[in-house]
Structure 1
Amino acid sequence: MRDLKGWGADELKVAVKRTSKRMLGLLLAAAALPVLAAGLPPPYAGTPTAKDYPHADVLVLSESRDFTLLPDGRQVEKVRRVEKILTYEGMDETGDPKVTFNEREQELSIGRCRTYTADGLTVDAKANSFNEMTPFELERAPAYTDWRQMVITKVGLDINCVVELEYTLTDKRPWRRFLEGVEPLEDQDPALERSVSLTVPEGTALNYRLFNAQAQPTVTRSGGSVTTTWTLRDIPLAPPNEMGPSESGFLPALVFTTCPGWGSESSVIGELVAKAEAVDSPQLAKKEESLLTGLRTSFEKIVALHDYVAKDINTVRWPPADFDFIPRGAAEVYDSGYGNALDKAVLLCAMLKREGIEAFVSAGRQTVPGGLDPGAVPCMAQMDTVLVRAEEPGGPIWLDPTASLAQRSPQDFVGFEGLTLQPGSRDLNTILGAAGSDRLEAHLDAAAGAGLSLEGKGLITLAGRYSPFYAVEGSADEQKAFLKTFLTSFLPGGELTEYSVVRMDPGRCVFKIAFKGPAPKTESGVCTLQTGLPEQSILAGFPASYLGERRLPLVLAGTGKEHLVLRVTLPEKAKILYLPAAAKLVNPAGSFARSWRLTGGLLRMEVSAEIPSRVIQPKDYKDWKELFGIANAQGERCVVFGSEEVRK
């Protein structure tokens, strides 16, 4: 610094004036930049980092969702989320969230989108941070384009920054029957605190259930309204490797509605569905006639009409609950060539009824023991699946209007719990599988020739959920492909040479097969006869099988009993160098047994397994892994022969 000693008064005035101008310039420059402070502001200083949450990319410091039903029937939703970015992946994950809203019925206002960096910067989102778009799922569906998404681009993101986001959705007019929703309380990001509050006018009944969490709500009254609030703290992240369509039902969630009962929903939606089914057109009638030319039985007609709706009418993957389960007319769906699940169900029912086939629409969800129970709260928002029940002389057939029978057959709907959408329905119906009907059996006999090549025949039986009826019925190519997959997974390298159908119905399929197996390779003077588990076996594989433990239950494809027998007549001089010992295991997850026996020149392998429950609890997961391990142990599935003796 310069020494000011000896300066005169005039010199000092000039210096001060120049300094003031410099300071003013610096202040103006600073005003154009983000606000600078010493680190994060007090509410967020000292909050956890990636060291405290090593498996997370984003940490939610607090999140609140407030739903209000106004006296005039309009609804307001307020969201406030404060999150801390822990990794660069977290910046990608949370940098551009989308807020979905109905532009015709709702007004979206964004109150705040602000970032506080660890370096002390405060950065507010600018006008160009908010961009409206048509949801990808609705781009080719003009009838649904009232639904929009606001893309919010957060700015100033960096590791350990904190982002505040606040927005409000306000109805422009009353347009929904009830205040209702399903609020997940655990997701891919851990949270220090998460709350949901519901505000309704005094005297308005509120039905709710908190699933998979323990939290008592607080209730406050003010200005003629009642507010009920649930708050959860220290919520872990939902384990991504354990998540599947069914496993999400085990996560904490709040289901709520002001609907008094299922009858209120079915009476209104049932009338809407009936009116939509009645919307006809000459073009639709002509199309249906062309689809059914030459078909005689009701089953053939059901399959043909369902196949058309599932494959040729484009599916719009958007929740029917967002449309308040109000369907478009059948002819409109046909003319446009697209529809959501409910629209397509209406079209399918209309076409079936024209042919005198009774059909009903049902909205519901797939359930598993211990998961979210849709019957507990009469809330349509939780119904994420729409099915059609078609009445047929052999019994009702359940159909997914968005998927062919080869993709999703009635066996896949076991556990579906839904409401029939017709006036008078007051209870949910559950699709049940026949007790003890799920069986997989194979009995194969083969003769071993030179080099241990095989040639044989056998019988394969698949019943209940194992039955491939809907995937292969009427198609020789599909039947052959199915049997080829079965054979090559059971006998690696096996070749299907011939087959015939013994029985073919929805509950049971029986096939006779003939097959060949190539001679195994010889290595170090030995050759090995290998076996496996059919791909259709429950024990053949399951998602994330590499996990050593689980926090959530594991949901298997189903339950079942399996019995496999392979008998091989060996060459006279065949010499077995290794024959696996018998293996047997019974535990809480199920049972498995495999035995090898040589009697004279007949080698016999027998496998039996039973899986009694579709849901494996975390405490039983190690038992399931042990069962899976013994069933797939490579050394226990093969027999080793001396190659010289085999060639003789």
Structure 2
Amino acid sequence: MIQNKHKLAFLLCLLLMATTAFGASEAEYKKLAKTWTLNTDGSQEFRYNMELTLFTHTAMNSTYGESFIVYNPQYQELKINSSYTRQKDGTIIKTPDNAFVEVLPRNAADAPAYNHLKEMVVVHTGLELGATIYLDYTVTSKPGYLPEVDIFEELLQSSPVKEYTLTIVTPEAKELAYTLANNPAKASVKQSGGTRTTTWTLRNLPASSRAPFVSVRNGDVPFLAATTYASEGEALAILFKQFNPSGDPQLATLAESLVEEKDKDEDKLQAILEYTTNHIANNRLTLDQTGYRLRPADAAISTAYGTEAEKANLLAGLLNGAGFKAEPMATYQAHAEKGLALKAVDQLLVSCMVNGELYLFSPSSTRRPQTVNFDRTPLFSLQTGKPVAVAVPTLEDYQIKNDITLTFKKDGNLTTMTKESVGKELLPYFKTGNMGTPASLNKQNGYATITLPDDASGFSHLPYGYLNSQRKENLLLPRPVSEVYTYTIECPDNMELRTPETDKTIRNAAGSLTIAVKKNGRTVTAIRSLELNKQLYTPAEYKELRQLLTEWSDVNGRTLLFSVR
């Protein structure tokens, strides 16, 4: 019996050790290496090499069971240098030929013009707990397909990395601009035989966060931006020279038909935007997947689909064809002092100044695009290649102030009357009217509940009220928040308020919140207000922010209970 107890204790210790060692990650990259080489003839090579050890069944059967490599066989050649699995006992299992499966990339499925793209799926075989996957491949691009070195890499992987090596090889005559953000590693630069080799070696990187709303936009995610373009303008010029020229007769003819019989400029803008967004389907191929190329506008029109760049070209061309002065713009995913080029582009937009108002259109949505981060990631003009000064909206541009009166009719139903004031940045360009959500009335077993309505663009409709209690990363909110709702409910004689009168106010470093319920005779007054002091919150500030967001999203703070006789 004592011996069995010792065995049990020993097993529990082993389990504890295994949990400590592996509980935090499904796998671990022993080595990860990426090398970009620009040759003197203009050809480029990208080499990828990984050693990945598996710790869990999820890693083995799902997360890391396959690797995916997208390339363009018209201009690129894929070579698998080696692919095998070393099992825990040292047995080598080479990847068989039938485990290399070529498929069409998902984003090219509904885009016949891009059906020549390939995605190599490498199915890793011989997997078991403790096995290590080895994969080494090279993608070689023909001269001219990729004009320059253009790198934008988020450095954290889905599992920890023991050693991560990034290498860029360029001709000595080519200047390399780069930024390594949020990591202390320094570049090692060596020159030999007419080439310059720039290398970073990163060690013991943690796994990327699985928390929601984590991205390089938050300012604390490590990334490498590097390019041999002389400037952002030189890179953007590669795109702009593919855009249809201003005054294209075909686009002018189509634009005239779209705005026919429309007298107001706003109606003309709306017609062109709705055509581009609603009649031309969005294709999600990225700029680097298309080799930073785009089809002309007539191809997007005839096929009724386009990439973001193709639709931006079409939208700008139609606006110019209708007599407006439109200009394509770009924003970047992150702020970097040096090294941003085309792969770092976040979104392509089209600007148009009409009657003294700046319209900034997304080619993929009729909604007004967010512009609040332009102080850190400014707009760049594709035409000039330079940043464009855009006024950053103020808090007033995002304010919501609603006075809502709820009245019971004789039949027991509820009517809502709203006097609303909504900041212009929360409204679509071309739609007006009540954007509020209706009040919800539910009667059952002698009681009635009213769910208080709010504006459809209110912050409660965004999923920020249900975040984890702790956070290790910055949290960047999509916009400033300032909302005040005042409710007046006129109760009939057969109804009594059962929700306790409340006057809750929270003020902390993140902002302020008020939830109040008061009764005066047959009239119930409720107030809900939320104001957040800023958009970017650090982990140290997160606790107080979450307190406000959790209270704001709590259904109990938005529901009133009445008894019904």
Q: TM-score under structure 2 normalisation?
A: 0.87
2:547 to 626, 629, 638: 626
Q: Is 1:341 matched with 2:308?
A: yes
Question: 1:84 deviation in Å?
Answer: 1.1
2:39 to 70, 73, 78: 70
What does 1:181-260 correspond to in 2, within 5 Å?
181-243=151-213, 250-260=220-230
Q: Which residue in the other structure is 2:259 paired with? A: 292
Local SS of the residue matching 2:421: strand
2:405 to 429, 440, 445: 445
Gaps of 5+ in 1: 1-47, 367-371, 474-478, 494-517
Question: 1:452 deviation in Å?
Answer: 8.1
Local SS of the residue matching 1:333: helix
Residues 1:544 and 1:119: Cα distance change in structure 2 (over 3 Å): farther
Contact 2:35 2:47 in 1 (8 A): yes
Q: Which residue in the other structure is 1:315 paired with? A: 282
Q: Which residue in the other structure is 1:384 paired with? A: 346
Local SS of the residue matching 2:545: helix
Work out the CA distance in 2 between the residues paired with 1:455 and 1:234. 61
Q: Is 1:329 matched with 2:296?
A: yes
1:175 to 132, 145, 153: 145
Question: 1:536 deviation in Å?
Answer: 3.3
Work out the CA distance in 2 between the residues paired with 1:66 and 1:297. 55
Gaps of 5+ in 2: 1-16
Work out the CA distance in 2 between the residues paired with 1:309 and 1:635. 43
Work out the CA distance in 2 between the residues paired with 1:176 and 1:563. 52
Residues 1:469 and 1:441: Cα distance change in structure 2 (over 3 Å): farther
Local SS of the residue matching 1:628: helix
Q: Is 1:265 matched with 2:196?
A: no
Q: Which residue in the other structure is 2:325 paired with? A: 358
Larger of the two Rg values belongs to structure: 1
Could you tell which deviates more after superposition, 162-171 or 194-203?
194-203
Q: Which residue in the other structure is 2:458 paired with? A: 537
Output the amino acid matched with 1:153.
V
Output the amino acid matched with 2:362.
D
Q: Is 1:57 matched with 2:8?
A: no
Local SS of the residue matching 1:346: helix
Question: 1:167 deviation in Å?
Answer: 0.7
Q: Which residue in the other structure is 1:555 paired with? A: 476
Question: 1:449 deviation in Å?
Answer: 7.0
Contact 2:244 2:297 in 1 (8 A): no
Q: TM-score under structure 1 normalisation?
A: 0.77
Work out the CA distance in 1 between the residues paired with 2:296 and 2:496. 72
Work out the CA distance in 1 between the residues paired with 2:561 and 2:411. 12
Work out the CA distance in 1 between the residues paired with 2:269 and 2:453. 38
Contact 1:446 1:569 in 2 (8 A): yes
Q: Deviations over 1:288-344 (max 9, x none)?
A: 444333222222122212211222222221112444544322223222332211111
Q: Is 1:521 matched with 2:472?
A: no
Could you tell which deviates more after superposition, 288-297 or 376-385?
288-297
Work out the CA distance in 2 between the residues paired with 1:451 and 1:142. 58
Question: 1:440 deviation in Å?
Answer: 0.9
Q: Which residue in the other structure is 1:433 paired with? A: 393
Local SS of the residue matching 2:21: coil
Contact 1:364 1:383 in 2 (8 A): yes
Equivalenced residues, count? 546
Question: 1:60 deviation in Å?
Answer: 1.2
Residues 1:636 and 1:71: Cα distance change in structure 2 (over 3 Å): closer
Q: Which residue in the other structure is 2:438 paired with? A: 487
Question: 1:171 deviation in Å?
Answer: 2.6
Q: Deviations over 1:548-578 (max 9, x none)?
A: 1112222323112111111234456866555
Q: Which residue in the other structure is 2:501 paired with? A: 580
Contact 2:466 2:550 in 1 (8 A): no
What does 1:135-154 correspond to in 2, within 5 Å?
135-154=105-124
Residues 1:445 and 1:350: Cα distance change in structure 2 (over 3 Å): closer
Q: Is 1:461 matched with 2:438?
A: no
Work out the CA distance in 2 between the residues paired with 1:67 and 1:117. 30
Q: Which residue in the other structure is 1:418 paired with? A: 379
Residues 1:321 and 1:395: Cα distance change in structure 2 (over 3 Å): farther
Contact 1:447 1:456 in 2 (8 A): yes
Q: Which residue in the other structure is 1:501 paired with? A: none
Output the amino acid matched with 1:565.
T
Work out the CA distance in 2 between the residues paired with 1:57 and 1:431. 46
Residues 1:212 and 1:532: Cα distance change in structure 2 (over 3 Å): farther
Structure with bigger RCO (C-alpha 8 Å, 6+ apart) = 2
1:134 to 104, 109, 113: 104
2:529 to 605, 608, 616: 608
Work out the CA distance in 2 between the residues paired with 1:356 and 1:77. 45
Output the amino acid matched with 2:399.
R
Could you tell which deviates more after superposition, 600-609 or 306-315?
600-609
Q: Deviations over 1:263-311 (max 9, x none)?
A: 3234454333254x66654xx6654444333222222122212211222
Output the amino acid matched with 2:41.
D
Residues 1:326 and 1:629: Cα distance change in structure 2 (over 3 Å): closer
Output the amino acid matched with 1:85.
L
Q: Deviations over 1:361-381 (max 9, x none)?
A: 112235xxxxx2056434221
Work out the CA distance in 1 between the residues paired with 2:396 and 2:480. 9
Contact 1:49 1:86 in 2 (8 A): no
What does 1:17-56 correspond to in 2, within 5 Å?
52-56=21-25
2:53 to 61, 84, 88: 84
Question: 1:637 deviation in Å?
Answer: 4.7
Residues 1:260 and 1:529: Cα distance change in structure 2 (over 3 Å): closer
Output the amino acid matched with 2:55.
L
Q: Which residue in the other structure is 2:7 paired with? A: none
Q: Which residue in the other structure is 1:122 paired with? A: 92
Output the amino acid matched with 2:525.
R
Work out the CA distance in 1 between the residues paired with 2:451 and 2:144. 67
Q: Which residue in the other structure is 1:402 paired with? A: 364
Residues 1:595 and 1:191: Cα distance change in structure 2 (over 3 Å): same
Work out the CA distance in 2 between the residues paired with 1:357 and 1:149. 41
Work out the CA distance in 2 between the residues paired with 1:606 and 1:633. 15
Contact 1:107 1:171 in 2 (8 A): yes
Output the amino acid matched with 2:129.
I
Q: Deviations over 1:377-421 (max 9, x none)?
A: 342210031111123214121111122x1xx32446764633211
Could you tell which deviates more after superposition, 260-269 or 82-91?
260-269
Work out the CA distance in 1 between the residues paired with 2:352 and 2:73. 37
Q: Deviations over 1:452-501 (max 9, x none)?
A: 8655533122113332554x44xxxxx57x43xx233xxx32xxxxxxxx
Local SS of the residue matching 2:22: coil
Q: Which residue in the other structure is 2:5 paired with? A: none
Residues 1:279 and 1:530: Cα distance change in structure 2 (over 3 Å): closer
Q: Deviations over 1:188-208 (max 9, x none)?
A: 222122121112222421111
Residues 1:272 and 1:622: Cα distance change in structure 2 (over 3 Å): same
Question: 1:80 deviation in Å?
Answer: 0.5
Question: 1:179 deviation in Å?
Answer: 0.9
Residues 1:532 and 1:617: Cα distance change in structure 2 (over 3 Å): farther
Residues 1:145 and 1:280: Cα distance change in structure 2 (over 3 Å): farther
Local SS of the residue matching 1:167: strand
